Chain A
Amino acid sequence: MDLFLNLVASGLVIGSIYGIIAIAFAVIFKTTGVLNFAQGEVMMLVAYVSWSLGTELSLSFPVLVIVSIGVAALIGIIVERLFIRPMIGQPIFAIVMVTIGLAVMLRSLIVIFWGADAEPFNAAIEGGLVEIGPVVLFTEQLFAIILFFAIMTAVFLFFRFTRIGIAMRATAMDETAALLMGVDVRRISALAWAIAAVVSGLAGITFAIMFSRAPDLWFQGLRAFPATILGGLDSPLGSGFGGLIIGVIGDLSEGYIGQGLKEISGFIVIIIVLMVRPYGLFGEKELERV
């Protein structure tokens, strides 16, 4: 039983990271219809910049987080302006391919700029142990779970109650109608990219603190795909919970079935899920008129 609970707990920790990244995927997909294959790389870039800021300027953790949020938003806006904005009007396939090209490019640039070595990411939240019943967690692991729920709440409130959030939902529903109602549709796309960069960037920083700042950080972006597919590409909250499910399934299968399953169990799950519900667990079925 203790093993089970500990596996669930560690699954929830990594699942929180997947969930946060999955929210980032879903925010961009919902508002622009583009699946951003470069999300993991954007996340990695934010984490690397944040690492450099943290080590060079030796900022305290809360300040570092606030600065990183600003940096991440800037990165999101720049990437959108340079690579995505010029592709507006092209088929979705072309834009998605641009994000794939961008992913490969960013990954290489980061290694060329920062080198291929892993470095520890030291932050104030590191170190202590927290015991919750039979489950023992590091503080930074607990931080990941708390961050997940904080971001989930923030995303929910943002899309539900703020003016911009409602404008984003309106754009997602019908771009032309939103335009006619006075929504600046182009700015919405930039905003979606900025939000996604901030959200995934925070996940990247947390992951780097838990493990290290390493050049394979982008791979967490791919691991979050199953989460967002499971939850539905157009549902940020669903994607978040998808992350938790994928994380727990991963750790349980690794613990009980076989070594190495952690890495692919998510992919196996989504193939099964997609056979039953091709639009994800919480996604909306797309009606098509001919």
Chain B
Amino acid sequence: MRTHHFVETYEKHIALSDNPVTWSWTGLLLVALVVFPFATSNYLIALATTVGIAAIGAIGLNILTGVTGLISLGQAGFLAAGCYTTALLIADYNWPPELALIAAGVVSALLSLVVGVPSLRLKGLYLAITTMAFSFIITHFLLYAESVTHGPYGVRIEDLGFLGLDLASPIQLYFLVLAVAVIAAIAALNILRTRVGRAFTAIRDHDIAARVMGISLTQYKLSAFVISSFFVGIAGGLMAFQFRFINVDIFNLLLSVEALAMIIVGGLGSVAGAILGAVFIVLLPEATREVIDLLPTGITSMLSTYIYEIRGLLTGLTIIIMLRIEPHGLIGLWRDIKRYWTHWPLSV
């Protein structure tokens, strides 16, 4: 019987994984993700692209909320900032898309400093409301500063290429998003196992105690904001590539709530959890639609009128059920299952 997995050196303890089995499974998953688009329809590829973008954003939010414990209800604002930056730079200023995507991350990160500085004095709920306020202010600016942002008319970008990829093709866009998502996941995992990541966790667990241990709250809270918003901004930029016509309407409060739902469902503070949560929350309305289609036509047409409401209903219900049943999220569930198998037949 396997006992626990022991490590002997500090290097091994903070390594991403010293377990060859984990590495090979991760490799297999990557191969599957690369092969996947050649075997399915364009619709599923587009859905997978959406999942990928959501995963990047969720990884970013998880660094801020899950790891550092700073609750943000303003993800829609940062996402909108990134999305509009990319779209406007391409449509109005003819920037190359590669630079415009990076600019999305940078602009979003800079904006987060504006939120981050007042938030240094705020805790918990006050911070959640401030971030929400900022997201309203950002979307308000996007709507009313018509000379810069096209206001209510939205921004359209033409077909574009990215490092030789043609983004009009769903498969090639999918590969771009997959690549960025993999980079984002690896970057986040590496940040979390360094001094910075441990400082974030310390701040979440007790900020005064963290300060006593020599962690500069100013520096690390601001870095959490900047790093997190950079991810979210990049996700926003990719959204511009995917939609190619963007409007301020989609960046509403429900989007911020869905982002929080992703990390709660997936597992707070875990990169894999954020990805699982993104998969779950994006696929939930799709799965519901499949189920609804199986029902008698009368019910189907009634339900399809309220598809947006049903989406909200499910998001809310998922948050409540997950918090009550499995506060550690899907990743916690997975760990429990794994522990059960390794300890079998002695598991409880």
A108 touches B136 (CB 8 A): no
B136 touches A105 (CB 8 A): no
Does A148 have its Cβ within 8 Å of any Cβ on chain B? no
A108 touches B130 (CB 8 A): no
B128 touches A96 (CB 8 A): yes
Number of interface residues of B (CB under 8 A): 45
Q: Which residues of A contact B134 (CB under 8 A)?
A: 267, 271
Q: Which residues of A contact B215 (CB under 8 A)?
A: none
Does A179 have its Cβ within 8 Å of any Cβ on chain B? no
Query: With A101-B315, A108-B310, A274-B130 in contact, do A87 and B324 touch (Cβ < 8 Å)?
Result: yes
A274 touches B122 (CB 8 A): yes
> Chain B's interface: helix, strand, loop or mixed, by majority?
helix
Contact with B along A55-85 (1 / 0, CB 8 A): 0000000000000000000000000000100
A264 touches B140 (CB 8 A): yes
A274 touches B206 (CB 8 A): no
Tell me the chain A residues, 72-122 only, with Cβ under 8 Å from chain B. Answer: 83, 86-87, 90, 92-94, 96-98, 100-109, 111-112
Residue of A nearest to B206 (CB): A290
B126 touches A274 (CB 8 A): yes
Q: Which residues of B contact A103 (CB under 8 A)?
A: 257, 316
Q: Which residues of B contact A101 (CB under 8 A)?
A: 257, 261, 315-320, 323
Smallest distance from the beta carbon of A88 to chain B beta carbons, Å? 12
Tell me the chain A residues, 245-290 only, with Cβ under 8 Å from chain B. Answer: 258-260, 263-264, 267-268, 270-271, 274-275, 278-279, 288, 290
Query: With A101-B320, A105-B320, A108-B313 in contact, do A96 and B125 touch (Cβ < 8 Å)?
Result: yes
A94 touches B320 (CB 8 A): no
Q: Which residues of B contact A98 (CB under 8 A)?
A: 319-320, 323-324
B312 touches A105 (CB 8 A): yes
Does A233 have its Cβ within 8 Å of any Cβ on chain B? yes
A97 touches B313 (CB 8 A): no
A278 touches B140 (CB 8 A): no
Does A225 have its Cβ within 8 Å of any Cβ on chain B? yes
Smallest distance from the beta carbon of A4 to chain B beta carbons, Å? 24
- Selected from B121, B312, B323, the residue in CB contact (under 8 A) with A278 is B121
A108 touches B144 (CB 8 A): no
Q: Which residues of A contact B212 (CB under 8 A)?
A: 290
Q: Which residues of B contact A83 (CB under 8 A)?
A: 320
**With A and B bound together, what is the CA distance between A252 and B85 in angstroms?**
32
Does B44 have its Cβ within 8 Å of any Cβ on chain A? no
Q: Which residues of B contact A35 (CB under 8 A)?
A: 125, 128-129
Query: With A97-B264, A226-B133 in contact, do A290 and B208 touch (Cβ < 8 Å)?
Result: yes
Q: Which residues of B contact A107 (CB under 8 A)?
A: 309, 312
Query: With A108-B309, A112-B309 in contact, do A102 and B129 touch (Cβ < 8 Å)?
Result: no
- Write 13 A-B pairs (CB below 8 A) sorted by A numbering: A94-B323, A97-B260, A98-B320, A101-B316, A104-B312, A105-B316, A108-B306, A111-B309, A267-B136, A270-B129, A271-B118, A274-B118, A275-B121
Chain A interface (Cβ < 8 Å from any Cβ of B): 35, 83, 86-87, 90, 92-94, 96-98, 100-109, 111-112, 222, 225-226, 229, 233, 258-260, 263-264, 267-268, 270-271, 274-275, 278-279, 288, 290
Please name 11 further chain A to chain B contacts, defined as beta carbons within 8 Å, in addition to the given A98-B319, A101-B315, A102-B320, sorted by A numbering: A83-B320, A87-B324, A90-B327, A98-B324, A100-B316, A102-B316, A103-B316, A112-B310, A260-B143, A264-B136, A268-B137
